Amino acid sequence: MEIYFLGTNAGVPTLQRNVTSVALRLLEERRTFWMFDCGEGTQHQVLRSPLRLGKLEKLFITHLHGDHLFGLPGLISSRGYQGGTSPLTVYGPPGLKAYLDISLSVSQSRIPYKLEIVEHSGGLIFEDETFKVEAGLLEHRIDSYGYRVTEKDSPGNLNTELLKSYGLKPGPLYGRLKKGEDITTDEGVLIRAAEVIHAPKRGRIVVILGDTRPCAGSLPLAQDADLIIHEATFAHELAEMAHQYHHSTARQAAELARDAGGAELLLTHFSSRYTSQEELAPLLKEAQEIFPNTLLAEEFCTFPVYRRTPGNDPGE
């Protein structure tokens, strides 16, 4: 599970950064990737990346402002020309379906795969045997949502060293133990599955928040997350401007990560007034003073999502 940024700028693109889009790579978990927001030019960013649109399974829109949305019709249309034949589901606030229906119908775009558009107003919006996705309303000029992606716990591995001590070799009996069945060896030894299976692997939690002021809705979404992605449009010296434009500062993002008990924070959605990573350094500094395990998002860079386990919690 990895995060890959395709766009980190707020409002409009610049020569240094494109507008918002982030990919959650689930190649080991699902052999696919999911995308969150799709600002204008995102399909061009994909062409410069290791991502392939044919592997795109789900796309989540946080809100209907153009810098998060205008790249969507083009990307949906191009996906079919780039080997995309599997179904694609797009999630977002009410109004998303009308926007896409008009864009795709007026342009007579041909979509050679099943496209499903799911409008939501928060709550549980997707769940299967391995993942669930919940959405929560934030505070912005229009309805803006954050998404909490929860990987479900997976069964623990067999304690092969212990099984070897019983004289048991890999084979069908291993499979029965893995399913939770107790077995009896040829020598009449009872082996209880619960005693030879390690504890389940804790699923990871990734939280991707849309544009927002500090608000009550952020905290439950971000609670105990392994990774929080939060906008940091301004440095805190511009907190009044951030509030006026319904955005957050880097310090406010760090305060949310601290209060939520998060493990790691990635800052993104930077104002175009900051034209380089060097100019973003004060935002990183003010955030790290509150929440040390903070990094700045960089386009075309991969950020692993670490599994939090007792004793190696990055937030400790």
Tens of pLDDT along 220-275?
999 999 999 999 999 999 999 999 999 999 999 999 999 999 999 999 999 999 99
- pLDDT tier at 314, thresholds 50, 70, 90: very low
- pLDDT tier at 174, thresholds 50, 70, 90: confident
**pLDDT value for 309:** 65
- DSSP E strand stretches across the chain: 2-7, 21-26, 32-36, 56-60, 88-92, 115-119, 123-127, 131-137, 145-151, 183-184, 190-191, 205-209, 227-231, 265-268, 294-296, 302-304
Out of 175-179, 269-273, 281-285, least confident range: 175-179
- CA–CA separation, 213 vs 240, rounded Å? 11
Task: Look up 37 and say whether it is catalytic.
Answer: no
**pLDDT value for 316:** 37
Out of 88-92, 176-180, 294-298, least confident range: 176-180
- Residue 185 near residue 191 (C-beta atoms within 8 A): yes
- pLDDT tier at 185, thresholds 50, 70, 90: confident
- CA–CA separation, 83 vs 112, rounded Å? 10
- CA–CA separation, 242 vs 212, rounded Å? 9
Our CA angle for 258, 260, 262, nearest 5°, is: 70
- CA–CA separation, 258 vs 288, rounded Å? 10
Question: 37, 67, 143, 226: which is the annotated catalytic residue?
Answer: 67
Higher pLDDT, 198 or 80: 80
**pLDDT value for 156:** 83
**pLDDT value for 310:** 55
- CA–CA separation, 52 vs 203, rounded Å? 26
Binding site members: 63, 65, 67-68, 140, 211, 269
Q: DSSP 3-state assignment of 188? A: coil
**pLDDT value for 170:** 87
2-154+200-304 CATH pick, 1.10.1740.10, 2.40.10.10, 3.60.15.10, 3.40.718.10 = 3.60.15.10
Higher pLDDT, 194 or 261: 261
Residue 278, C-beta contacts closer than 8 angstroms, at least 6 positions apart: none
- CA–CA separation, 294 vs 314, rounded Å? 10
Where in the sequence of the chain do the CATH 3.60.15.10 domains occur? Answer: 2-154+200-304
**pLDDT value for 315:** 40
pTM of the model: 0.89
- Please state whether beta strands 294-296 and 88-92 pair in parallel, antiparallel, or not at all (unpaired): unpaired
